[in-house]
């Protein structure tokens, strides 16, 4: 087993994805550093700062496949530095003196931070795509079950009837807000770094701003207004925004987990023959995928404070915060993408059991409908007086496990005020879902339009 689950051959796909691992692999990390160095050389050649032939040679040799990563690792251990070993290898593989012009005017953190931003953009593209897919599946649920009446619960107790489509529409709106947050943070967060040793671009002087702007254009990143070597709010915002989105996914998974409990049995995560719930209880149909998603959401939430801690950096350079980020960013992104991918699979093939939803509507023998009874009596007696009467009847009904209808008819005031047919109509949960279907229709139409525009 690996030292961490993401590296484990057995457990890695529970806590990460092949795509996310590839994005944050050593090979891709070093490739991103080389991409930045090559782009920097091209821009500086265009501006006449370094020879064009050198820039062309640097670009030709800017492939991680040409490097000896084992040797680079040994040099990193010896020098306690990540970029100097890279620069030495680039110099070694470049013809002529081209390697002398790599990293011109840059500092290590320029390359590392900008490379990280390229990786964050790459993983963000993947996460957003999966979240849009998830949103589409949740909209499908809302539309399909717009009129399927079920119990709404508050404080873990039966509250009133509404529809499963309404619940799914609420999930959809939250996912949509997460997508908005992810999109809105892009221009603030995906900003490159090229500022030189202490941020002043002193090594290339008057041409520094031109190099900076053209480099960021070349890489497709935002251009910083000033160096941000110790201003780590961008990384913190990225991690915290991902944490919020993962809490949404975790909340949905936890709701499915809760409604899969034997006593409810209203939802069930996808099941296929061969899926085993227990080594000793053959009957078990557990929700392991939802449990894993919820667990991931808790771990990701725990990473948000680490990102905020890393903001407390000293002076113009502080490796303490950078090392926190190095340990935490890739891990967070791998976890988040795993949660997204698993949620897509769960929602796309979610088992919905309307018959159990219907059964649970009548579990308390009419008590679910206390509000409409109260409202029916309010015109004649006032709302508060009606509440007192219905409360008294409901408490007696609960204690004696009797049908609410019987107690209402037996009550001297209520029984005289409402006919049996009126009580039957009032106690029908399907007739008291309010504007649930209206909100489902509006939500689905709006979000499908947004998904279509994003496609």
| Residue 279: active-site member | no
* Nearest residue to 109 (alpha-carbon basis) of 130, 83, 146, 145: 83
The rounded distance, in Å, linking the Cα atoms of 369 and 403 is 12
The rounded distance, in Å, linking the Cα atoms of 407 and 364 is 13
Kind and range of the H or E run holding 153: strand 149-154
* Nearest residue to 372 (alpha-carbon basis) of 304, 427, 310: 427
CB atoms closer than 10 angstroms to residue 243: 22
Structure tokens at 405: 């209808």
Q: Look up tokens 């007086």; give the residue.
A: 385
| Residue 278: active-site member | yes
Indicate which residue of 278, 400, 430, 438 is catalytic: 278
At residue 15, φ and ψ (nearest 5 deg) are -120, 5
DSSP assignment of 278-308: -SS-TT----HHHHHHHHHHHHHHHHHHHHH
Burial 418-448 (b: 16+ CB within 10 A, else e): beeeebeebbebeebbeebbebbbebbeebb
Dihedral sign of CA atoms 6, 11, 16, 20 in order:
positive
Indicate which residue of 80, 154, 155, 283 is catalytic: 155
User: Catalytic residues, which ones?
Assistant: 155, 278
């Amino acid at each position: 087993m690996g030292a961490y689950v993401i590296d484990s051959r057995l457990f890695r796909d529970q806590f990460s994805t092949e795509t996310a691992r590839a994005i944050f692999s050593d090979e891709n990390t070093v490739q991103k550093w080389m991409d930045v160095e090559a782009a920097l050389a091209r821009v500086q050649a265009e501006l006449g700062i370094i020879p064009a032939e050198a820039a062309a040679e640097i670009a030709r040799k800017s492939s991680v496949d040409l490097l000896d990563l084992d040797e680079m690792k040994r040099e990193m251990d010896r020098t306690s530095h990540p970029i100097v070993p890279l620069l030495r290898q680039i110099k070694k593989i470049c013809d002529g003196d081209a390697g002398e012009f790599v990293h011109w005017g840059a500092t290590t953190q320029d390359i590392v931070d900008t490379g990280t931003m390229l990786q964050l953009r790459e993983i963000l593209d993947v996460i957003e795509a999966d979240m849009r897919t998830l949103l589409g599946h949740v909209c499908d649920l809302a539309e399909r079950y717009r009129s399927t009446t079920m119990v709404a619960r508050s404080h873990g107790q039966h509250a009133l009837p509404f529809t499963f489509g309404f619940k799914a529409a609420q999930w959809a709106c939250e996912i949509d807000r997460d997508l908005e947050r992810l999109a809105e943070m892009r221009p603030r967060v995906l900003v490159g770094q090229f500022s030189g040793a202490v941020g002043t671009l002193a090594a290339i002087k008057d041409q520094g701003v031109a190099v900076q702007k053209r480099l960021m254009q070349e890489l497709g990143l935002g251009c910083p207004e000033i160096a941000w070597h110790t201003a780590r709010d961008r990384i913190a915002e990225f991690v915290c925004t991902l944490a919020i989105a993962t809490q949404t996914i975790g909340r949905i998974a936890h709701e499915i987990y809760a409604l899969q409990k034997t006593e409810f049995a209203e939802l069930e995560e996808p099941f296929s023959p061969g899926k085993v719930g227990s080594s000793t209880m053959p009957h078990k149909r557990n929700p392991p995928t939802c449990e894993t998603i919820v667990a991931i959401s808790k771990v990701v939430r725990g990473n948000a404070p680490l990102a905020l801690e890393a903001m407390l950096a000293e002076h113009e350079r502080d490796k303490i915060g950078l090392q926190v980020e190095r340990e935490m960013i890739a891990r967070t992104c791998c976890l988040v993408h795993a949660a997204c991918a698993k949620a897509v699979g769960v929602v796309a093939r979610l088992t919905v059991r309307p018959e159990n939803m219907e059964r649970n509507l009548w579990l308390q023998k009419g008590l679910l409908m206390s509000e409409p009874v109260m409202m029916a009596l309010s015109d004649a007696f006032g709302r508060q007086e009606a509440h007192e009467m219905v409360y008294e009847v409901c408490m007696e009904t609960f204690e004696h496990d009797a049908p609410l209808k019987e107690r209402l008819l037996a009550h001297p005031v209520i029984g005289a005020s409402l006919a049996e047919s009126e009580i039957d109509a009032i106690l029908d949960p399907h007739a008291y879902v309010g504007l649930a279907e209206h909100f489902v229709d509006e939500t689905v139409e709006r979000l499908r339009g947004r998904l279509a525009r994003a496609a």
